[in-house]
């Protein structure tokens, strides 16, 4: 006995991904949630094994055995790694014999929603951090297409600034309020603006080394670059970039930004001062002596008279 074809209609009612495989690992049912999360249409998944659909995992290959835990899945030809919570069990017949494997899985959201507690607000404020939520949903198709054409997507983008600008134009950004009193009065939702209002032209490489890297590799990234204040002035920033949502129709990346302009200016001033003193002692005479010039002062005073 195997999964009935009509079962897919029932499985579409579930928010979790539901995948039914035969004992040889071939997919027999692939529900709507699996299509949305893994971006693989049902007709392409049916009849293929899991290892044909996903890259082999570093820790284990999906052999069809019962399993419960976390897995990192990379769709072959897809846009990046996705961490999911997986539970798979045998479907058994009336005699208790296994006839199929039913798996449910769901993405593990890194940060689903900003915690607006006072403690977190004070902590981030003390650390000098601002948090921005970027919607990068429209960037994924372009990255998926590039991944099929070039081996080194990141290196390719470094040589294609016009393409990077087009990708950036598809990204929106909003400031996440860290405390209730910072929330916008416009329906309680923070204002949405273009990424170009935060990331100036001279910092487009940071888009590649930060947001693109996170989408491709599924791991946090760290970049240093110049950013824009809302009034148009620039500042030097350190940015921690991390994935916050894996939903197909709403892919988000968080930017934790720290303004380091003052610290860098102080360091540069200290370094310049150190350099001046270093040059002073380097070019001074070999020997130093101290003389009493009080007699010369008295002599010059008398000459002036």
- Structural domain count, the chain: 2
Give pLDDT, residue 156: 92
Domain finish residue from 51, 86, 107? 107
CATH number at residue 78: 3.30.450.20
Long-range CB contacts (within 8 A, 24+) of 223-228: 224/260, 225/199, 226/200, 226/202, 227/198, 227/199, 227/200, 227/203, 227/257, 228/197, 228/198, 228/199, 228/200
Please name the residues in contact with 223: beta carbons below 8 A apart, sequence gap of 6 or more.
206, 209, 210, 238, 239, 241
Same domain, yes or no, for 101 and 122? Answer: no
For residues 16 and 68, state if they share a domain: yes
Residues constituting the chain: 305
Q: Which of 107, 140, 172 is the last residue of a domain?
A: 107
Range(s) of the domain holding residue 21 = 7-107
**Residue 167 is assigned to a structural domain of this protein:** yes
The single-letter DSSP state of residue 49 is: B
Q: How far apart are CA 242 and CA 223, in angstroms?
A: 12
Q: Are 88 and 215 in a shared domain? A: no
* Residue-wise pLDDT tens digits, 65-77: 678 887 878 888 7
Q: Which residues of the chain have pLDDT under 50?
A: 1-6, 58-64, 110-117, 178-188
Residues 85 and 132 in one domain: no
Judge contact between 77 and 151, C-beta under 8 A: no
Q: Are residues 99 and 188 in the same domain?
A: no
Q: Which segments of 170-293 does DSSP mark as H helices, in order?
A: 204-207, 213-217, 261-282
Q: Are residues 124 and 103 part of one domain?
A: no
Q: Judge if 125 and 249 occupy the same domain.
A: yes
Q: Is residue 291 part of a domain?
A: no
Residue 133 is assigned to a structural domain of this protein: yes
**pTM for the structure as a whole:** 0.48
- Is residue 255 domain-shared with residue 128, that is, in the same domain? yes
Residue 150's Cα: distance from chain center in Å? 22
Specify whether 95 is located in the same domain as 155: no
Q: How much is the pLDDT for 62? A: 47
Asked whether residue 24 is domain-assigned, the answer is: yes
Alpha-carbon gap, residue 79 to 17, rounded angstroms: 18
- Residue reference for tokens 């951090």: 129
Domain at 161, CATH number = 3.30.450
Q: Are residues 123 and 83 in the same domain?
A: no
267 domain residue, yes or no: no
User: Which pLDDT does position 278 carry in this prediction?
Assistant: 65
pLDDT value at residue 66 = 77
Tokens 């005699």 label which residue? Answer: 95
2 is a domain residue: no
- Confirm whether 297 is domain-assigned: no
pLDDT at residue 45, as a whole number: 92
Same domain, yes or no: 153 and 80: no
**Alpha carbon distance 225, 207 (integer Å):** 10
Residue 241, in any domain of the structure: yes
Are both 248 and 149 inside the same structural domain?
yes
Dist. CA 107–CA 37, nearest whole Å:
8
Kindly report each contact of residues 105-109 with a partner whose C-beta sits within 8 Å and lies 24 or more positions away, as own/partner: 105/16, 105/17, 105/19, 105/34, 105/37, 105/71, 106/15, 106/16, 106/17, 106/33, 106/37, 107/37, 107/82, 107/83, 107/246, 107/247, 108/70, 108/83, 108/84, 109/244, 109/245, 109/246
pLDDT score recorded for residue 30:
93
From 83, 107, 131, the end of a domain falls on: 107
**Tens digits of per-residue pLDDT, 1-18?**
444 444 556 788 788 899
């Amino acid at each position: 006995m195997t999964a009935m074809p009509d079962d897919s209609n029932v499985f579409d009612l579930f928010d979790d991904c539901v995948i039914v495989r035969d004992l040889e690992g071939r997919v027999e049912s692939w529900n709507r949630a699996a299509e949305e999360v893994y971006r693989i249409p049902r007709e392409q998944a049916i009849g293929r094994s899991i290892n044909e659909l996903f890259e082999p995992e570093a820790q284990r290959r999906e052999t069809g055995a019962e399993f419960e835990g976390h897995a990192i899945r990379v769709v072959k030809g897809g846009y990046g790694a996705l961490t999911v919570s997986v539970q798979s069990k045998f479907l058994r017949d009336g005699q208790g014999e296994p006839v199929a494997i039913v798996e449910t899985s769901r993405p593990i959201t890194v940060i689903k929603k900003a915690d607006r507690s006072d403690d977190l607000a004070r902590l981030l404020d003390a650390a000098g951090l601002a948090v921005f939520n970027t919607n990068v949903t429209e960037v994924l198709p372009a990255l998926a297409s590039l991944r099929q054409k070039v081996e080194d997507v990141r290196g390719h983008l470094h040589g294609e600034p016009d393409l990077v600008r087009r990708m950036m134009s598809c990204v929106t950004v909003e400031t996440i309020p860290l405390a209730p009193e910072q929330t916008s009065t416009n329906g309680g939702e923070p204002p949405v603006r273009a990424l170009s209002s935060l990331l100036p032209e001279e910092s487009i490489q940071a888009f590649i080394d930060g947001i693109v890297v996170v989408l491709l590799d599924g791991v946090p990234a760290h970049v240093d670059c110049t950013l824009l204040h809302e009034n148009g002035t620039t500042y030097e920033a350190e940015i921690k970039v991390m994935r916050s949502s894996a939903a197909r129709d709403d892919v988000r990346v968080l930017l934790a930004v720290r303004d380091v302009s003052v610290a860098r200016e102080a360091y540069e001033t200290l370094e310049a001062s150190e350099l001046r003193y270093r040059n002073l002692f380097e070019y001074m005479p070999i020997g130093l002596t101290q003389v009493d010039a009080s007699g010369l002062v008295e002599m010059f005073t008398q000459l002036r008279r």
